[in-house]
């Protein structure tokens, strides 16, 4: 079994039963390759619920005047594949993931899906080993920066809708979005999106998803029009 002292420091928690942590770090490719009777998929299922609950509770406590729908949007902004993969990287989880040879050779340690799943599995393992109070404290520490900086305005404003409504009022054609290119490996792509208004390039933006790139392009166009 690997030595986990460095990971314990990053997590801020020492496991009483390190076997739970090993299970959380074991990708199915490694399990299949080594004939194991476990992998981290079940632990990831548990961890998904634990992280959702922890973030939900913190948002509920901090935003007393916000309704259920908006709280759900805020939670989605905090608990998604990109964010969880980011948190996994911050914790240095990639150095500890057990991967099969083929998965590792194809960049498995950097895949967002692997990192996000592993992050959730580790939180599930912490829950199994130490209970919910420990997990809640850990979630608070891991997401504190995002919890403080999350902007209701950024979460709730639909820049694409605002732009389209403005153009319709001006009797102009609806904006057109086009993916100009994708940058990077398949598991770590950046989408470059162009926004055209009346056939003229109005803005270009890039993000880790097509949806976010379109949103950023719409915001940029609105700012150029002095609407924002």
pLDDT of residue 34: 95
- How many angstroms separate the CA atoms of 202 and 148, rounded? 33
∠152-154-157 over CA atoms, to 5°?
A: 95
- How many angstroms separate the CA atoms of 117 and 103, rounded? 15
pLDDT of residue 154: 66
pLDDT of residue 88: 95
Q: Is the domain of 29 the same as that of 131? A: yes
Catalytic annotation present for 48? yes
pLDDT at 151 over 70: no
- How many angstroms separate the CA atoms of 163 and 157, rounded? 11
Q: How would residue 3 be classed by pLDDT, with cut points 50, 70 and 90?
A: confident
Q: Is the domain of 128 the same as that of 67? A: yes
Between 63 and 131, name the one with better pLDDT: 131
Set 48, 103, 129, 194: catalytic member: 48
Catalytic annotation present for 120? yes
Q: Is the domain of 20 the same as that of 132? A: yes
* Whole-angstrom Cα Rg for the chain: 21
Does this model's pTM top 0.75? My answer is no
Contacts 24+ apart (CB under 8 A), 139-147: 139/50, 139/51, 139/54, 139/55, 139/58, 140/54, 140/58, 141/12, 142/87, 142/90, 142/91, 143/55, 143/58, 143/78, 143/87, 146/78, 146/83, 147/58, 147/59, 147/62, 147/78
The residue range of the domain holding 189 is 159-224
pLDDT of residue 26: 97
The arithmetic mean of pLDDT across residues 162-166, rounded, is 89
- How many angstroms separate the CA atoms of 82 and 91, rounded? 14
Q: Is the domain of 122 the same as that of 203? A: no
pLDDT at 152 over 70: no
pLDDT of residue 136: 94
CATH number of the domain residue 185 falls in: 3.30.160.20
Q: Considering the chain, what is the average pLDDT of its residues? A: 91
Q: Is the domain of 41 the same as that of 143? A: yes
- How many angstroms separate the CA atoms of 24 and 113, rounded? 14
Q: How would residue 71 be classed by pLDDT, with cut points 50, 70 and 90?
A: confident
Q: How would residue 41 be classed by pLDDT, with cut points 50, 70 and 90?
A: very high
Set 120, 129, 194, 214: catalytic member: 120
């Amino acid at each position: 079994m690997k030595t986990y002292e460095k990971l314990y420091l990053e997590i801020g928690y020492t496991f009483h039963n390190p076997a739970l942590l090993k299970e959380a770090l074991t990708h199915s490719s490694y399990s299949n390759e080594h004939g194991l009777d476990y992998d981290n998929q079940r632990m990831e299922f548990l961890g998904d619920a634990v992280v959702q609950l922890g973030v939900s509770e913190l948002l509920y406590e901090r935003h007393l005047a916000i309704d259920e729908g908006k709280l759900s949007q805020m939670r989605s902004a905090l608990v998604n594949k990109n964010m969880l993969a980011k948190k996994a990287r911050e914790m240095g989880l990639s150095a500890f993931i057990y991967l099969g040879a083929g998965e590792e050779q194809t960049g498995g340690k950097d895949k967002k899906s692997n990192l996000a799943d592993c992050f959730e599995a580790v939180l599930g393992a912490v829950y199994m080993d130490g209970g919910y109070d420990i997990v809640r404290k850990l979630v608070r520490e891991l997401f504190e920066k995002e919890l403080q900086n999350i902007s209701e305005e950024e979460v709730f404003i639909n820049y694409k809708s605002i732009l389209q409504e403005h153009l319709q009022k001006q009797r102009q054609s609806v904006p057109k979005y086009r993916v100009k290119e994708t940058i990077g490996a398949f598991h770590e792509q950046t989408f470059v999106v162009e926004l055209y208004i009346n056939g003229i390039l109005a803005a270009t933006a890039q993000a880790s998803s097509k949806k976010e790139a379109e949103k950023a392009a719409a915001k940029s166009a609105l700012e150029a029009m002095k609407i924002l």
